[in-house]
Structure 1
Amino acid sequence: MSNLAVPANRRKVYLEMALRRCRPGRGSSLAFLQSRTWNHPVTDLRTIIQTPFVIVGGIATRLYMPERMTDDLDILIWAENSDRIYGELEQAGSQRVGALNIGGSTWQLSDGTILDVLEFEQAWIADAIAYPNFSPDGLPVIALPYLVLMKLQASRSQDLADISRMLGGADEEMLNSVRSVIGIYLSDALEDLESLIALGQLEMGN
């Protein structure tokens, strides 16, 4: 298995290169980097799902950084609620497409939307689902500390870039909330987290 198959190793390689090459300044305007929009509506899952969930992934980042176009609609649920939510999806006319290798499955909703349902069992899931933020149209979106946690656990290049940009515009109170969650659930990533914060703040000109 390649060393880069391990998330912590991917972070190290990404951060070493980024910190070596990064310079203060922005490739986009400060107004753009500070913008928070929800211009591309997504399916209102509340009309077909009663099981508690939160939106995660690229769409969730809209609350914490400039919106980028993505067709991926991802939600997070307690693994023990999978049978319940899948029953609701089937009742709404959704079709199961296949399994996710990280746990969960992909579905096609009746309106054609592709939905990834992530099933996790970690201890933090309860708080992540119980205390969401909300989109302008009222959908539950995972809070920033837990979104950062998920992206650190995955540590793909896009995940790390998202973390840097989201945290570059966060205030100190929010940064401390993120540090607290990572310290509890992924403490070996704290040093990498600080590097990602520094990269994000460099982009913002801080």
Structure 2
Amino acid sequence: MSDLRSIIQTPFVIVGGIATRLYMPERMTDDLDILILADNSGRLYGELEQAGREWVGELMIGGSSWRLSDGTILNVREFEQAWVAEAIANPNFSPDGLPVIGLPYLVLMKLQASRVQDLADVSRMLGGADEEMLNSVRSLVGVYLSDASEDLESLITLGRLEMGDES
């Protein structure tokens, strides 16, 4: 995977399938997704262009795709929601030191997307989470997506069942 730190100075966090690797067994993914504040898109795109990265196209969900020097597709997701700045400022870190979105924010993002793969990821990630982390997730979802609280509890239960935890 390309070393993003050498080409990107704009604050970002890794999201998507790569981010889930910190919170559940790895699943296959072909691209790399990052999240930035929408206001920083011009700055980031300038950095990518200056580094010679190739613009591939717009994303239907907002943002754009770029081809990195190693052929990896980088999907830049641009959000304006209030929680994004907090998520970027408080990352976890991958083994290679890259900033990865914290689990509560990743769950929030995936619940908002509501795709089947996203909901499966949420269930698997939360099935292995401890009670302290689950409470952090519940709190954040309660603030930003309160109408999903019941669905969240169902996904936690399904995840625990998948992990073999009957509690």
TM-score (norm 2): 0.97
**1:24-71 deviation line (CA, Å, top 9, x unaligned):** xxxxxxxxxxxxxxxxxx222011000000000000000000011212
| Residue identity opposite 1:190 in structure 2 | S
Residue 71 in structure 1 maps to residue 12 in structure 2: no
**What are structure 1's unaligned runs of at least 5 residues?**
1-41
Q: In the alignment, is the contact (CA less than 8 A) between 1:79 and 1:121 conserved in 2?
A: yes
RMSD in angstroms over aligned alpha carbons?
0.7
In structure 2, what is the equivalent of residue 195 of structure 1? 154
Residue 140 in structure 1 maps to residue 99 in structure 2: yes
**What are structure 2's unaligned runs of at least 5 residues?**
none
Aligned residues: 165
Residue 112 in structure 1 maps to residue 71 in structure 2: yes
List aligned pairs for 1:164-179, cutoff 5 A.
164-179=123-138
Q: In the alignment, is the contact (CA less than 8 A) between 1:92 and 1:110 conserved in 2?
A: no
Per the TM alignment, residue 111 of structure 1 is displaced from its structure 2 partner at its CA by 2.1
In structure 2, what is the equivalent of residue 18 of structure 1? none
TM-score (norm 1): 0.79
Larger radius of gyration, structure 1 or 2?
Answer: 1
**Aligned partners of 2:70 and 2:130: how far apart in 1?**
38
List aligned pairs for 1:10-159, cutoff 5 A.
42-159=1-118
Per the TM alignment, residue 129 of structure 1 is displaced from its structure 2 partner at its CA by 0.1
**Aligned partners of 1:109 and 1:72: how far apart in 2?**
10
Per the TM alignment, residue 203 of structure 1 is displaced from its structure 2 partner at its CA by 1.3
Instruction: Determine which structure has greater relative contact order: mean sequence separation of CA pairs < 8 Å that are 6+ residues apart, divided by chain length.
Output: 1
Q: In the alignment, is the contact (CA less than 8 A) between 1:128 and 1:142 conserved in 2?
A: yes
- Aligned-pair identity (%): 82
